[in-house]
Structure 1
């Protein structure tokens, strides 16, 4: 069965290829599955939401705290924005409660851009069983969270409703992603850990590929 690779384009390619960044594969049926799933039926999301946030204003709606424990690096605390991207947050919380992320890794790292993780295969081709509605402006959802430093967002393929488990944390402002990817939260503590990962983990190419032995391990993600 054909595999497509889950990829985030590097900053060098961003200006020319912004619309095809964060390409994701069809997701496996489980953590150990190697088969490709068909796209899940899209969950209809409202085209407008009450709580929005951008670079000039803070999100004021309901928040859910999480703690990401990264082996040998430390902990990253973040708030998920429940009302801004409800489908995305609910899916992420479900995976956290199932301990889906425990033992997974950050498999793709680009200094000055982002760190990407949450792939059960660790090579950019895996994901969770279900794919979800892409909650971003180009997909008809009013999500104004700008991709500034510390924002959590979902990786996806060229298909708008293809995100499942892979997410990324923005290392430095990458606002050209706004409207194209579903931001759903922001780091509140531990950006020094993100910095350390982004700046110290060796990569094998400009695309941020990290060999298995060098991938930072997510010990756990827990709700606060």
Structure 2
């Protein structure tokens, strides 16, 4: 092979990984080991924290940003404030201090000049909480501006992170109620009509997961219900690969949760909320629905994306098993993600996702507990309300 035709090794590896990406789908089923394709995949060699890696294109890889954008609010000034602050993430990488200052000035102007418009988007029952949050938001924005003035990169990151967390609290106050009706045919299933925070204590450390019931009420509700029942306590991670860690397989012959009320395995329909739709769609993949360009509200683009495992031949066969994604930009490039629309993501790991790289088959969930949002879990009538 001549020098002009020689393919660089790194490019060849990327090509092989991309060619094998479709095989990823097979491994996410409940019963298949997937061992035969493992040699196709290798680590990407990065030593950076997963949430700090630069994504390809415009892919958003930060789980808190994804959750923020998925929040069902329709407040133009709030979204504009969010855009100005988030834009500084990209600008800081390039040390474009002047542009950062301009974005922060515009954000400050919004808080000063459009306060009434912001408050008008907050329902009456949340007005008092929002009134307390606005001064905190202004004060924290000043901390970011001071860090920018000092050209202190790490401090800017820390102060901006705190600013966005305070903004998230304000944005949550703008949600008046659960925004749509869930089809009556699913009344037998628990649903999460809001968000819940779950701590997963494993033998390798603790992860904090946010289950998003606004975007996946049945899938998130199923998960939170099982956590509250203590179902996952002591269960092993029975499948760990380069790009996922899967758990939730109960001991014995069963592969899912047996509902004590019915004596049958409880299954959850495939639930995908497409950006721009009014509510999730159920029962078929986006590919089966012919929606090839549709983008899910909860994409598989963050390390620690949490999703329901299911049989490969049954989109409605998911039960208790779930997996956490080990994000790899080569397997999930912008505009082509082999899992989006085929599996139901229902939340993200917002803390502790680095332990995914340490998990091995046989590691266990020591305990799983709901630390926030359990009040938003609605169980069917007659079902036990607590563990």
Q: Taking structure 2 as the reference length, what is the TM-score of the superposition?
A: 0.40
Q: What is the Cα deviation at residue 24 of structure 1?
A: 2.1
Q: CA RMSD in A?
A: 2.7
Q: What is the Cα deviation at residue 18 of structure 1?
A: 5.3
Contact 2:306 2:345 in 1 (8 A): yes
Q: Distance in 1 between matches of 2:238 and 2:244?
A: 11
Selected match of 2:300 from 147, 172, 176: 147
**Residue 70 of structure 2 aligns to a residue in which SS?**
coil
Distance change >3 Å, CA 20–CA 217, structure 1 → 2: closer
Q: Distance in 1 between matches of 2:325 and 2:345?
A: 10
Q: Distance in 2 between matches of 1:77 and 1:122?
A: 28
In structure 2, what is the equivalent of residue 194 of structure 1? 356
Contact 1:81 1:184 in 2 (8 A): yes
Q: If you compute each CA radius of gyration, which structure gives the higher value, 1 or 2? A: 2
Selected match of 2:339 from 177, 183, 206: 177
Contact 1:96 1:222 in 2 (8 A): yes
Query: Which runs of no fewer than 5 residues in structure 2 stay unpaired?
Result: 1-16, 32-57, 61-65, 73-193, 259-265, 273-280, 290-294, 372-387
Higher relative contact order (CA 8 A, sep 6+): 1
Q: What is the Cα deviation at residue 161 of structure 1?
A: 0.3
Distance change >3 Å, CA 216–CA 21, structure 1 → 2: closer
Q: Is the strand fraction higher in 1 or 2?
A: 1
Distance change >3 Å, CA 183–CA 122, structure 1 → 2: farther
Q: Distance in 1 between matches of 2:195 and 2:351?
A: 15
Determine if the alignment matches structure 1 residue 91 to structure 2 residue 222.
yes
Q: Distance in 2 between matches of 1:101 and 1:13?
A: 35
**Residue 95 of structure 1 aligns to a residue in which SS?**
helix
**What is the count of residue pairs matched by the alignment?**
168
Determine if the alignment matches structure 1 residue 218 to structure 2 residue 358.
no
Q: Taking structure 1 as the reference length, what is the TM-score of the superposition?
A: 0.66
| Runs of 4 or more above 6 Å deviation | none
Determine if the alignment matches structure 1 residue 23 to structure 2 residue 23.
no
Determine if the alignment matches structure 1 residue 117 to structure 2 residue 247.
yes
Distance change >3 Å, CA 64–CA 75, structure 1 → 2: same
Q: Is the helix fraction higher in 1 or 2?
A: 2
Distance change >3 Å, CA 127–CA 78, structure 1 → 2: same
